Amino acid sequence: MATNPYAWLKQSLETIHRADWYRSVQTIESQAGPVVRLAGREVLNFASNDYLGLTSDDRLIQAAIAATQKFGTGSTGSRLITGHRELHRQLELAIAALKQTEDALVFSSGYLANLGAIATLVGKRDLILSDQYNHSSLKNGAILSGATVVDYAHCDVADLSTKLTQQRDRYRRCLILTDSVFSMDGDLCPLPELLAIATEFEAMLLVDEAHATGVMGATGAGCVEHFGCTGHPLIQIGTLSKALGSLGGYVAGSATLIDFLRNRAPTWIYTTGLSPADTAAASAAIAIVQQEPQRRAQLWQNVAHLQQLIAESWSDAPIAFELKPLPSASPILCFQVPDAATVLQIGQKLKQAGIFASAIRPPTVPTSRVRITVMATHTSAHLQQLAAALSQVTT
């Protein structure tokens, strides 16, 4: 008798449940911001990527409305056919100006920017070296490219150098991939050292600034600026959907690189251009990032304040089970927890205390953790409430 070819789906889901890896969506019922309504109750939002609070900024909203009224809701086609408006080019030039690169190219998401750039730059005869904690889009871009992929230990330049010494000669081109701010850890890649290694081994270096754009560096250009590496030969990727409060992604770099991607990157050529609303909102956000450095200053002040509050409450609270802070140099603060079931319990307890924080589990990360993201628009009272709630779940 024939068996149902879909029967395995239910069995797989049961396995996911048993491991406490099951995921489901949570509905936000209010506008984005530091306080949101989640399933009928107000909670402090420490789970979003809206670092500067721009998603609910009226200037972004008005820019999106005006662009929609002028051009309609969609772009109607791929950028090379009917999907290109002057808005897209203005946004690309604004990104290039922020990053101080020759040019930039806007994709429909950061994920697609990574898939497209990586798969276009290397192929079967080439080698990719990838930080073991890189974002899913870098890992899947590497697989899609068909290149040989070798992971190096997290931020370990000695391991990277050893692996390149052993393998570089056997391949044509070489590409090193790294997050700049690691999205599930909050620490930074050693960018100057990576650049030196890339030069030594004649390798391209792609750095994903998704969590750094608008946040890191004096003008908000990202970790490249933070580390004083502006102008170095790099492929910079980023998203319009985190600090920039919109949707979409980009690649920034040399004019030749961008021209090549426009001619070869399948995830740019064969997909519909970004909507007028998203494009206009992102442009408005970049202008604010450049004109209002006080937002970034407030964000960093909040990060320092929260770290101080946590250190204080940690020092006088007995810790019943491990909630181990991971090293961070960004608005992403993570606390490692023994296992997936425990992190879910902590997430629930925090929610009962009015705190929305992410419980991150495998396979997203190797070890379960509570992940907190700080916003420029959190108040001192918000941060105090979080620190108090965290110390309660640990006692």
Site residues (vs ligand PLP, CB under 6 A): 109-111, 114, 135, 137, 179, 183, 208, 210-211, 239, 241, 249
Q: Which one-letter amino acid corresponds to residue 180?
A: S
**Residue recorded with tokens 């296992």:** 339
- DSSP for residue 24: -
Q: Which is nearer to ligand PLP, 280 or 387 (CB)?
A: 280
Nearest by Cα to 243 from 52, 385, 104:
52
Q: Max Cα separation, the chain?
A: 69
Helices then strands, counting H and E runs in the chain, come out as 14, 14
Rounded to whole angstroms, how far apart are CA atoms 286 and 106?
Answer: 14
The closest of 116, 293, 277, 145 to 215, measured between CA atoms, is 293
- CA 335 to CA 322: how far, in whole Å? 9
Which residues of 140-272 form beta strands (DSSP E)?
148-152, 174-179, 204-208, 235-239, 249-253
Q: Give me the residues paired with residue 90 across strands.
A: none
Q: For ligand PLP, give the closer residue by CB, 241 or 385.
A: 241
Residue 234 Cβ, how far from ligand PLP at the closest point, in Å? Answer: 15
What is the side-by-side strand order in the sheet with 41-45? Answer: 35-38, 41-45, 355-356
CA trace torsion 149, 150, 155, 158 (10° rounding):
-140
Smallest gap from Cβ 333 to ligand PLP, in A, equals: 15
Compare residues 117 and 147 and give the one whose CB is closer to ligand PLP.
Answer: 117
Quote the least distance from Cβ 66 to ligand PLP, whole Å: 23
Q: How far is the CB of 131 from ligand PLP (least distance, A)?
A: 11
- 239 or 313, CB closer to ligand PLP? 239
99 or 135: whose CB is closer to ligand PLP? 135
Beta carbon nearer to ligand PLP, 358 or 391: 358
How far is 196 from 292, CA to CA, in rounded Å?
Answer: 33
Which residue's CB atom is positioned nearest to ligand PLP? 110
313 versus 358: smaller Cβ distance to ligand PLP: 358
